[in-house]
Amino acid sequence: MSQDSFNFDHETRGWVDLIPSRVPRPKLTSQVDTKWLVIGAGFTGLSCSRRLAELNPNEKIVLLEARKVGQSASGRNSGYAVAHSHFSGGYQKDQLRQYERVDRINQTGLDSLKSIIDKNHINCDFKESGIYHMAADKNSSEECDYFVDYLKKRQIEHVPLSQDQINLELGTSWYRKGVKVKNGALVQPAKLVFGLADNLPSNVELYENSPVLGMEYGKINTIRLPNLTIKAKNVIMACNYESLAKDQQKQRVVGVTLSGSITRVLTQDEVNILGSESSWGVLSLHSGGATVRLTEDKRISIRNTAEYNSHRLLNDQQLKRRQKIHRQAFDNRFPELSHVSFEHLYSGVEGVTANKTNIFKKLSNNLYFSGCYNGSGITKGTAFGLGVADYACGNDSKLVSDCLSIQKARWLPPSPLLDLGAWYVTRQRFKGVGKDR
């Protein structure tokens, strides 16, 4: 197949703006033959490459990243390493095995990341502080009751929160109610992905700014880059919504573009206005609600727009318009901090399926695809990377079984119906969002 016309986004804005720059690995400039090729150096590709290197210590693992590490979704998400997923609606007893399966996958990813961070002393502001789930309006308040009931029945450790308790801990009276799930962590996502990339096993060769334009499938796959080709016996695609396998697999994932703003560092007097928690992360219990964080370095981030933009990042003019929405949401939650300026503005693209599931698939005897995490890619993407490496090496494990048992992603129609459908579904995400935006 060919993707000569694909124009890769190279915008550098995001969480990478908040940390010292990193010297990228060189791009691939000469032809390589390899037994193992991984496409995409996000959380899935990095995890997969590490696991392949452990399973094949005498083999070279080639890892390609189209941009610089941290410029894609892994460096643009909001840094939530979730252990327990939120399933909308009431608890369904017949779905218990599915609930347990998803949480096992999440926990495997969280445990793997924690082990790598500890072993390699990666400074990424990793904090196992739990995650807040909040409701500000009627629809999300009902969802909060469902979620608390779900957590009780699953015996997942949690703390229900009243409006007064939320104000005491976070310094905002905007939310009606909420719940804190105690298992889960927060990270600075760009620091984490940098650390993972810079601490790969010695038999992993990472090449950045090396986009794949096309592939010819066969017993030995031929992968085409701008000025060279690679021969690879086994290929694992960890490129999320930018899948190269559209002729092997019907379209099942779209890229939804989100945007957010991050403040300057707060002064100590400004921090004192906030609650008792030194840093925290809020996820909305409405699918279109705002994601809000107080970071370890005392900034507040807010992300609350999502739209279909043909799988692209937003341009400067679009971003400035979206920041007005960020500003209003920030001022609603923290009126005493309305004078605090935003210092960073960014967008990112997440892979989404029509039925909110993931993709973990063997496309041929030597071609695999893993991706699409609907906004929860840190833990789930890490676990899927481990699983797809085991799967490709023929290892039968509980993780592989769990990943293979995930509900199949629905087929999506080709353009222009895809564009219209994706636009409509994304708009529906905000139906009834009200004060949660």
Pair 226, 373 in one domain: yes
Mean pLDDT of 220-225: 95
Pair 10, 144 in one domain: no
| Reported confidence tier of residue 407, pLDDT bands at 50, 70, 90 | confident
What percent of the chain stands above pLDDT 70? 96
Mean per-residue pLDDT over the chain, rounded: 92
Show the beta-strand stretches assigned E in 18-104. Answer: 32-39, 61-64, 80-82
Pair 152, 82 in one domain: no
Pair 140, 107 in one domain: no
Pair 59, 106 in one domain: yes
Handedness of CA 304, 306, 311, 317 (dihedral sign): negative
Token pair in block for residue 410:
């629905």
Mean pLDDT of 133-150: 98
Higher pLDDT, 157 or 8: 157
**pLDDT computed for residue 244 by the predictor:** 55
Pair 110, 30 in one domain: yes
Helix (H, G, I), strand (E, B), or coil: what is residue 291?
A: strand
Higher pLDDT, 73 or 418: 73
Is residue 117 within 8 A of residue 124, CB to CB? The reply is yes
- Candidates 393, 396, 409; CA nearest to 38 is 393
Q: Do the domain assignments include residue 10?
A: yes
Mean pLDDT of 9-20: 83
| Reported confidence tier of residue 253, pLDDT bands at 50, 70, 90 | confident
Rounded-to-integer distance, Cα 426 and Cα 47, Å: 30
Q: Do the domain assignments include residue 50?
A: yes
Q: Is the pLDDT of residue 423 over 70?
A: yes
| Reported confidence tier of residue 421, pLDDT bands at 50, 70, 90 | confident
Higher pLDDT, 265 or 353: 265
Pair 306, 168 in one domain: yes
Is residue 104 within 8 A of residue 84, CB to CB? The reply is no
Pair 391, 281 in one domain: no
How many domains does the chain fold into?
A: 2
What are the pLDDT digits (tens) for 54-82?
999 999 999 999 999 999 889 999 999 99
Q: Do the domain assignments include residue 423?
A: no
**pLDDT computed for residue 3 by the predictor:** 44
> What's 307's domain CATH number?
3.30.9.10
**pLDDT computed for residue 248 by the predictor:** 47
**pLDDT computed for residue 5 by the predictor:** 43
- Candidates 244, 247, 238; CA nearest to 61 is 238
Pair 55, 117 in one domain: yes
Rounded-to-integer distance, Cα 201 and Cα 240, Å: 23
Q: Do the domain assignments include residue 422?
A: no
Rounded-to-integer distance, Cα 249 and Cα 402, Å: 21
Q: Do the domain assignments include residue 101?
A: yes
What percent of the chain stands above pLDDT 90? 80
Q: Do the domain assignments include residue 342?
A: yes
Token pair in block for residue 112:
């793997």
Pair 156, 200 in one domain: no
> What's 402's domain CATH number?
3.50.50.60
Pair 328, 284 in one domain: yes
**pLDDT computed for residue 416 by the predictor:** 81
Q: Do the domain assignments include residue 411?
A: no
C-alpha dihedral (106, 110, 116, 120), degrees to nearest 10: 150
Token pair in block for residue 417:
């119906």
Show the beta-strand stretches assigned E in 59-129. Answer: 61-64, 80-82
Q: Do the domain assignments include residue 77?
A: yes
Q: Write the DSSP string, 395-414.
A: ---HHHHHHHTSPPPPP-PP
Q: Is the pLDDT of residue 29 over 50?
A: yes
Q: Is the pLDDT of residue 48 over 70?
A: yes
Pair 101, 205 in one domain: yes
Instruction: Report which DSSP code applies to 183.
Output: S
Domain that holds residue 278: 131-182+255-352+428-436
| Reported confidence tier of residue 1, pLDDT bands at 50, 70, 90 | very low
What are the pLDDT digits (tens) for 341-385?
999 999 999 888 888 888 899 998 899 999 888 878 899 999 999
Compute the chain's Rg from CA coordinates. Answer: 21
